[in-house]
Amino acid sequence: MTIPRAHHGEVSIAYESLGGPDGSPLLLIPGMGAQMLDWPDGFCRILIDHGFDVARFDNRDCGLSTHFTTAGVPGKLDLLRRPGKVAPYELSDMAGDALCVMDALGWSRSHVVGVSLGGMIAQTIAIEYPERVLSLTSVSSTPWWRIGRPSIRAMLRIARVTKRDVANAEEAAQLSVDLNRIVASPGFDLDEAEIRSRARLAYERETDRHGIWRQLAAITASDDRRAALGRLDLPALVLHGEQDVVFRMQAGRATAEAIPGARFRSFPGMGHDLPRELWPQIAGEIRSVADHAPAR
């Protein structure tokens, strides 16, 4: 199957349109190092059943979208000490990628949902292009990367896994399982078979596995968005797992507190993922905030 592509200058963004033309437009933005596949098909079908026309895409430097390989890999210390010097692009550029997908779909406006890094991109779209956003849903994210950062223990555990090299799809699958054992929802069963299947497919779609570090540079180079979020005038929803070790609960609360009138919903047992058992509730929450969007 040919994957359609949207174009933002010289950047090519791979995307998929999953819903019918009569649904409300809903754009799903993935997290750091995550491909469009990380919005599970089953979850997307539930959103379609809730009346959405769903689209998802690969962020730049991930999956089948343009990779900035010539920019190299930022040094770990530079990511903290001088991120603005080593980041080849910013969150604003990634927000522009999302808009080019909307343009390719013929959407003048859309409900926007982002998870983790995708939540930061969704926030940036709402700040910089409010006329394009019908409603905003920020999931497992933060208004500034310094808020709700993981504990030292969690960072060390994640680093031990993510620093491993992978030489084939099976090693990529095992790495994904091991990472999810750290960050996924402790209150729900870990679907290892699904994680392995998705990781194998993601491995085959990936051309360069260092893009995650350039995405991280875009995050650490970004400013605190709370003041800008405070000027938003749109329906907003913030969802967060109470056992999230990547962005802890205060990150979600800070996001909701920054946006006037935002609804905050936390889920016991949920970590930094979308457990299957919560898909109907999460989809219902997204439908609810979308229903509050005024006709524009």
Using CA atoms, how far residue 73 sits from 165, 168, 205, 216, in Å, is: 15, 21, 20, 11
Beta bridge partners of 8: 11
Q: What are phi and psi of 186, to 5 degrees?
A: -70, -15
Predicted local distance difference test score (pLDDT) of residue 15:
98
Domain residue extents for the chain: 5-291
In this prediction, the residues of the chain whose per-residue pLDDT falls under 70 are 1, 295-296
pLDDT at residue 1, as a whole number: 65
pLDDT of residue 82: 83
CA angle 257-262-267, nearest 5°? 85
Spatial separation of the C-alpha atoms in residues 217 and 215, rounded to whole Å: 5
The DSSP bridge partners found for residue 267 are 241
Task: Evaluate whether the domain defined by 5-291 bears CATH number 3.40.50.1820.
Answer: yes
The pLDDT assigned to 295 comes to 60
> How many angstroms separate the CA atoms of 60 and 271, rounded?
25
pLDDT in tens, 113-152: 999 999 999 999 999 999 999 999 999 999 999 999 999 9
